[in-house]
Amino acid sequence: MRKLERLLLKMKDTTELMIDLAYSALLYDNKAIAKEVHRLEDLIDRLNMQIQQEAVERTAKEHPEAALFILRLSNSLEIIGDAALQIADITLRGMRPHPIFQESVKAADVSIARIYIPPRSPIVNKTLGELRLASETGMWIIAIRRKKRWIFGPDEFTTIKGGDILIGRGPEEGVAALRNAVLRGIG
Amino acid sequence: MRKLERLLLKMKDTTELMIDLAYSALLYDNKAIAKEVHRLEDLIDRLNMQIQQEAVERTAKEHPEAALFILRLSNSLEIIGDAALQIADITLRGMRPHPIFQESVKAADVSIARIYIPPRSPIVNKTLGELRLASETGMWIIAIRRKKRWIFGPDEFTTIKGGDILIGRGPEEGVAALRNAVLRGIG
């Protein structure tokens, strides 16, 4: 059952990241982010197959209700992943983000913002785990642009570097809180 | 174009609330929450139809690219709403939440938690807008249980009352931050 739990957890986290990244790809007209959504969709497909196998071959025998529950849920999660992929594909097909959409994302309950980290920011060389940006500012970091490369779905061990550009999602007032943290540090 | 922006914004916010509520319905085996996801799915369908009409009848003539962009996006958002509905339906069909799922939600990057507001909490009689819980604790309040009724998707004008049970989504450390705010107030 542990394996099933781990797979399901990974699937849930991945679909949420995919939706956030898909919106970001549209908002910033960014094909690199859209391609990451594609890569994650492959991961979702693999996870879904593993979950099906695990549920049918192991769990179904002793816990048929649990197996059915998990299969239904993972099926729905795969659909969410597909929808995120469709959103990312708008960017990959070369359609430019429309101001209507950009305004909508900015005014939405959950906003997406890009924040530059100056080399002398007090949060430089700290990990996301140490900083607890998500609970301190409400902003969830979904991607980091570092020089020419991207870090997608950074975790608690990811260190912030000077010159990074963070892409975060959170409430509108979280954007100001994050900018403040970048300038003055946390707390 | 303003109308289209407003409709799209509403659709995006609604799908995100639906997913959070659908997970909550599963986690707490709560049919009232699952039914709200159904109500929101009706809203999504209406919004999608209005967006299609607006895009085709008004926007398409002068801005065909914009119309196509918006149609594709709203189509994907509707699929996300459908998937949230499927998740909520697991609860409505009487399947009980499985510990595997409950553990997964608790251990996920984005956790869901229920927090009781004691009558003497310092946050009682304050609005969510005043408290800025989302940026102060990282927790987004998706529903409030007040006596026998529910407030779904509360907004900045919603006042917290003693005896409320909040359902929030956010990072794991946000749960502790919110509990702390409930006991000691903000800041």
**Residue A155's pLDDT is what?**
94
For chain A, the maximum distance between any two Cα atoms, rounded to a whole number of angstroms, is: 58
Indicate if the pLDDT at residue B1 is higher than 70: no
CA dihedral B142, A113, A22, B75 (to 10 degrees): 60
ipTM over 0.90: yes
Residues B60-77 pLDDT 10s: 898 898 899 999 999 999
Q: Which residue of B has its CA nearest to A154?
A: B109
State the pLDDT at residue A66: 87
Per-residue pLDDT of B159-170, as tens digits, reads: 999 999 999 999
What is the average pLDDT score of chain B?
94
Calpha distance B22→B43 (Å, rounded): 15
Give me the helices (H) in chain B, please.
Answer: 2-27, 31-54, 60-62, 64-92, 99-107, 128-131, 133-137, 172-184
Confidence at residue A97, expressed as pLDDT on a 0 to 100 scale: 82
pLDDT number for residue A181: 96
Distance from the Cα of B119 to chain A's closest Cα (Å) equals 25
pLDDT of A164:
98
A112 and A20 Cβ atoms separated by less than 8 Å? yes
Please give the single-letter amino acid code of residue A129: G
Residue B133: is its pLDDT beyond 80?
yes
Pick out chain A residues at pLDDT < 50: none
| pLDDT above 90 as % of chain B | 80
So what's the pLDDT on residue A133? 93
Helix (H, G, I), strand (E, B) or coil at A31: helix
Exposure letters B147-185 (e unless 16+ CB within 10 A, then b): eeebbbbbeeebbbeeebebbbbbbbbbbebbeebbeee
pLDDT value at residue B152: 97
Measure A47 CA to nearest chain B CA, in Å. 14
Beta bridge partners of A116: A165
SS3 B1: coil
Which tens digits make up the pLDDT trace of A95-114? 888 888 888 888 888 999 99
Q: Which chain B residue has the Cα nearest residue A10?
A: B108
Q: Which residues of A touch B171 (CB under 8 A)?
A: 132, 134-135, 140
Mean pLDDT along residues B138-165:
97
Average pLDDT rounded to a whole number, residues B82-111: 89
Residue A13's closest CA among B34, B89, B19, B152?
B19
With a CB cutoff of 8 Å and minimum separation 6, the contacts of B22 are B34, B37, B84, B85, B87, B88
What pLDDT does residue B8 have?
A: 93
- A80 touches B at CB < 8 Å: yes
Residue B18: both structure tokens together: 């639906």
The burial class, CB within 10 Å (0-12 / 13-18 / 19+), for A157 is exposed
Q: B28: pLDDT confidence band, cut at 50, 70 and 90?
A: very high
Sorting pLDDT into bands at 50, 70 and 90, what band is B51?
A: very high
Cα A103 from Cα A98, distance rounded (Å): 9
A-interface mutation test, from B1, B23, B73, most A Cβ less than 10 A away: B73
DSSP-derived letter for residue B158 is P
- In chain B, residues with a C-beta closer than 8 Å to the C-beta of A16 are 109-110
Dist. CA A130–CA A133, nearest whole Å: 8
Residue B119 has pLDDT above 80, yes or no: yes
Report the b/e string of A118-154 with b at 16+ CB within 10 A.
eeebebbeeebeebbbbbbbbbbbbbbbeeeebbbbb
Global pTM reads 0.95
Token pair recorded at residue B118: 């004691």
Q: What is the pLDDT of residue A1?
A: 61
Residue A100 near chain B (CB below 8 Å): yes
Task: Give the span between the Cα atoms of B91 and B93, in whole angstroms.
Answer: 5
